[in-house]
Chains A and B, each alone.
Chain A
Amino acid sequence: MATLYRWLLHLYPADHRLTFGAEMITVFRQARSGVQRRGPAARVTFYLREFAGLVRGALDERARAFVASSLWAVIEERSFVMRSQFRFSATAILFMVLSFVASVVAILTGENVIIREARLPAGMALDLPRLPRGIAMFFLVSCVAGGIGWLVTFLIRRTGVDRLSKLQNVPPQC
Chain B
Amino acid sequence: MKTDASSLPLSEPVLLILLSLAEQPRHGYSILKDIEDMSGGRVMLSTGTLYGALRRLLEGKWIERFEEEETSRDRQAYRLTPAGRSHLRMEVARMKELTRWAGQRIARKEA
What chain A residues lie within 8 Å of B44 (beta carbons)?
49
Among A55-63, A74-82, A95-103, A131-139, the stretch that binds chain B is: A55-63
Q: Which residues of B contact A (CB under 8 A)?
A: 27-29, 32-33, 44-52, 54-55, 73-76
- Minimum Cβ distance to chain A for residue B12 (Å): 14
Q: Which residues of A contact B (CB under 8 A)?
A: 16, 19-20, 22-28, 30-31, 34, 49-50, 52-58, 60-61
Decide if A58 touches B48 in the complex (CB within 8 Å).
yes
Decide if B29 touches A24 in the complex (CB within 8 Å).
no
B interface SS class: helix
Partner of B49, one of A16, A19, A23, A53: A53
Decide if B32 touches A61 in the complex (CB within 8 Å).
no
Decide if B55 touches A19 in the complex (CB within 8 Å).
yes
Decide if B55 touches A53 in the complex (CB within 8 Å).
no
What chain A residues lie within 8 Å of B48 (beta carbons)?
24, 50, 53-58
Partner of A20, one of B27, B32, B49, B55: B55
Decide if B52 touches A28 in the complex (CB within 8 Å).
no
Q: How far is the CA of A26 from the CA of B55 in the complex (A)?
A: 17
A interface SS class: helix
Decide if A61 touches B46 in the complex (CB within 8 Å).
no
Decide if B51 touches A57 in the complex (CB within 8 Å).
yes
What chain A residues lie within 8 Å of B46 (beta carbons)?
49-50, 52-54, 57
Q: A54-B47, A57-B49 are in contact. List 19 more A-B contacts (CB 8 A).
A: A16-B51, A16-B55, A20-B54, A23-B74, A24-B48, A25-B74, A26-B74, A27-B28, A31-B29, A49-B44, A49-B46, A53-B47, A53-B49, A54-B46, A55-B48, A56-B48, A57-B51, A57-B52, A60-B52
- Minimum Cβ distance to chain A for residue B87 (Å): 20
